[in-house]
Amino acid sequence: MTKLEAMIQPSKLDAVKSALLEIGIDGLTVLEARGHGRQKGHTEFYRGREYTVDLLPKIKLEIVLRDEVVEQAVGAVIKAAQTGKIGDGKIFLTRVDEAIRIRNEERGSNAL
Amino acid sequence: MASGGLAQTLRNRYEAETERIRLDFAAAHDGRLAIQRRSALLDSLALRLWQEYVSPEQTAPADLALVAIGGYGRGSLYPHSDIDLLFLYEKALPGPERKDEIRQLCQDMWDMRLKLSPTTRSLEECDLLHRDNLEFNISLLDCRFLAGNFELFRRLHEQVLPKFILREWQDLVRGLSEVNEERRRKMGNTIFHLEPNVKDTPGGLRDYHLAGWLALLNGFSRSRGWINPTDTFPANLRSSTEEAIAFLSAIRCFLHYRSGRDDNLLSWEAQDAAAQGCIAFADAPDAAVWMRRYFRHARNINRLASVMLDDVVPARSSIYQQFQSWRSRLSNRDFAVVNGRVYLQQPSSIDQDAFLRVFEFVAQHGFKLAGSTEQRLEQAFPAVSSRPLTGGTRWAALRAVLVRPHAGLALRSMQELGVLAMIIPEFRALDSLVIRDFYHRYTVDEHTFLAIDTLHGLRKDSEETQHFAELLGEVERLDLLYLAMLLHDVGKAGSSESHVQASLQAAAHICAELELSQEECDSICFLIASHLEMSVAMRRDIFDPATLKNLALVVGSPERLKMLCLLTYADISAVNPDAMTTWKAENLWRLYVATVNELDRSVDDERVHDDMRDEQLANILRLAPQLEARRLREFLQGLPRRYLRLHGPQEIVTHLELAAKLGTDAVQTALTRRRNMFEITVVTVDQPALFAKLAGILAAWGMNIVKADAFSNAGGVVVDTFFFTDRFHTLELNVQEWGRFQRSFVDVLAGECSLEALGSGRKSDSRTPKLRIEPRVQVDEVSALHSTLIEIIAQDRPGLLYRIASIFAENGCNIEVALIDTEGEMAIDVFYLTAARNKLPVELIGKLRDALMEELQPPA
Across the interface, of B590, B776, B828, the residue whose CB is closest to A53 is B590
- Helix, strand, or coil here: B99? helix
User: What confidence tier does B316 reach under pLDDT thresholds 50, 70, 90?
Assistant: very low
Weakest-pLDDT range from A41-50, B273-282, B742-751, B755-764: B755-764
State whether residue B156 sits within 8 Å of chain A by CB: no
**Cα(B710)–Cα(B643) distance, integer angstroms:** 9
DSSP letter, residue B746: H
User: Which residues are CB-neighbours of A94 under 8 A, at least 6 positions away?
Assistant: A2, A3, A5
Measure in Å the smallest separation between the Cα of A64 and chain B Cα atoms.
24
Across the interface, of A11, A42, A46, the residue whose CB is closest to B539 is A11
User: What confidence tier does B472 reach under pLDDT thresholds 50, 70, 90?
Assistant: very high
State whether residue B177 sits within 8 Å of chain A by CB: no
A47–B793 C-beta distance less than 8 A: yes
B539–A10 C-beta distance less than 8 A: yes
Across the interface, of A13, A46, A57, the residue whose CB is closest to B593 is A46
What confidence tens digit (pLDDT) does each residue in B53-90 have?
988 877 778 789 999 999 999 999 999 999 999 999 98
- Most A CBs within 10 Å, among B468, B470, B541, to test the A interface: B541
What are A's interface residues with B at a Cβ cutoff of 8 A? Answer: 9-11, 13-14, 32-34, 42, 44-48, 51, 53, 56-57
Measure in Å the smallest separation between the Cα of A1 and chain B Cα atoms.
30
In this prediction the pTM is 0.84
Measure in Å the smallest separation between the Cα of B779 and chain A Cα atoms.
12
Measure in Å the smallest separation between the Cα of B493 and chain A Cα atoms.
28
User: Is the pLDDT higher at B796 or at B359?
Assistant: B359
Measure in Å the smallest separation between the Cα of A42 and chain B Cα atoms.
9
| pLDDT above 90 (res B763) | no
**In B54-83, alpha helices (H):** 70-73
A46–B597 C-beta distance less than 8 A: yes
pLDDT score for B317 = 47
B823–A11 C-beta distance less than 8 A: no
Beta-ladder partners of B788:
B833
What domains are defined for chain B? 4-166 (3.30.460.10), 187-312 (1.20.120.330), 424-602 (no CATH), 643-763+770-856 (no CATH)
User: Which residues are CB-neighbours of B259 under 8 A, at least 6 positions away?
Assistant: none
Q: Which residues of B touch A9 (CB under 8 A)?
A: 541
User: Is the pLDDT higher at B846 or at A50?
Assistant: B846
Span A72-100, average pLDDT: 94
What confidence tens digit (pLDDT) does each residue in B444-469 have?
999 999 999 999 999 888 888 999 99
Span B97-116, average pLDDT: 91
Across the interface, of A11, A45, A51, the residue whose CB is closest to B778 is A45
User: What confidence tier does B3 reach under pLDDT thresholds 50, 70, 90?
Assistant: low
Contact indicator for B819, B709 with CB cutoff of 8 Å: yes
Q: Which residues of B touch A33 (CB under 8 A)?
A: 583
Among residues B437, B538, B307, the alpha carbon closest in space to that of B548 is found at B538
Q: Which residues of B touch A13 (CB under 8 A)?
A: 539
**Cα(B771)–Cα(B773) distance, integer angstroms:** 6
Where along chain A do its domains lie? 2-111
A83: nearest CA in chain B?
B541
Angle at the Cα of B254 from the Cα atoms of B249 and B255, rounded to 5 degrees? 100
Report the CATH architecture of A2-111: 2-Layer Sandwich (3.30)
Q: Are strands B814-823 and B83-89 parallel, antiparallel or unpaired?
A: unpaired
State whether the Cα torsion B397-B399-B403-B405 is positive or negative: positive
| pLDDT above 70 (res B726) | yes
Query: Cβ-count burial of B348 within 10 angstroms (0-12 exposed, 13-18 middle, 19+ buried)?
Result: exposed
pLDDT score for B860 = 65
Q: Are strands B776-780 and B814-823 parallel, antiparallel or unpaired?
A: unpaired
pLDDT score for B191 = 92
Other C-beta atoms closer than 10 Å to the C-beta of B324 total 15
User: Is the pLDDT higher at B482 or at B98?
Assistant: B482
Beta-ladder partners of B344:
B335
Weakest-pLDDT range from A82-91, B757-766, B813-822: B757-766
Q: B110-140 burial by CB neighbour count: b if 16+ within 10 A, else e? A: eebebebebebbebeebbeeeeeebebbbbb
The mean pLDDT of chain B is: 89
Weakest-pLDDT range from B158-162, B270-274, B486-490, B556-560: B556-560
| pLDDT above 90 (res A80) | yes
**Cα(B50)–Cα(B100) distance, integer angstroms:** 12
User: What confidence tier does A100 reach under pLDDT thresholds 50, 70, 90?
Assistant: very high
State whether residue B823 sits within 8 Å of chain A by CB: yes
Cα-only R_g, chain B: 37
Span B472-501, average pLDDT: 90
Residue A3, H or E segment: strand A2-8
% of chain A with per-residue pLDDT over 70: 96
Beta-ladder partners of B709:
B721, B819
B263: left (phi over 0), alpha (psi -120 to 50) or beta: beta
| pLDDT above 90 (res B658) | yes
pLDDT score for A95 = 96
Other C-beta atoms closer than 10 Å to the C-beta of B414 total 27
A56: nearest CA in chain B?
B587
Q: Which residues of A touch B597 (CB under 8 A)?
A: 44-46
Span B251-255, average pLDDT: 97
C-beta pairs of B244-247 under 8 Å, 24+ apart in sequence: B244/B208, B244/B297, B244/B298, B244/B300, B244/B301, B245/B32, B245/B205, B245/B208, B245/B301, B246/B30, B246/B31, B246/B32, B246/B280, B247/B280, B247/B293, B247/B294, B247/B297
B539–A14 C-beta distance less than 8 A: yes
% of chain B with per-residue pLDDT over 70: 95
User: What's the farthest any 2 CA atoms get from each other in chain A?
Assistant: 58
Helices B31-53 + B96-111 axis angle, to 10: 140
Cα-only R_g, chain A: 17
Measure in Å the smallest separation between the Cα of B254 and chain A Cα atoms.
25
What confidence tens digit (pLDDT) does each residue in B205-243 have?
999 999 999 999 988 888 888 999 998 898 889 999 999
- Helix, strand, or coil here: B652? helix
C-alpha separations of A5 from A10, A57, A62, A72 in Å: 15, 16, 5, 14
Span A32-50, average pLDDT: 78
State whether residue B584 sits within 8 Å of chain A by CB: yes
| pLDDT above 60 (res B322) | no
State whether residue B543 sits within 8 Å of chain A by CB: yes
Contact indicator for B607, B640 with CB cutoff of 8 Å: yes
Span B127-151, average pLDDT: 93
- Most B CBs within 10 Å, among A32, A43, A55, to test the B interface: A32
% of chain B with per-residue pLDDT over 90: 61
State whether residue B780 sits within 8 Å of chain A by CB: no
pLDDT score for A27 = 87
User: What confidence tier does B315 reach under pLDDT thresholds 50, 70, 90?
Assistant: very low
State whether residue B581 sits within 8 Å of chain A by CB: yes
Across the interface, of B541, B773, B778, the residue whose CB is closest to A11 is B541
pLDDT score for B282 = 73
**Cα(A100)–Cα(A107) distance, integer angstroms:** 4
What confidence tens digit (pLDDT) does each residue in B148-206 have?
999 999 999 999 999 999 999 889 998 998 999 999 998 888 898 889 999 999 999 99
Measured in whole angstroms, the distance separating CA B684 from the mean position of its chain's CA atoms is 47
A48–B793 C-beta distance less than 8 A: yes
Q: Which residues of B touch A31 (CB under 8 A)?
A: none
User: Which residues are CB-neighbours of B280 under 8 A, at least 6 positions away?
Assistant: B29, B246, B247, B250, B251, B293
| pLDDT above 80 (res B714) | yes
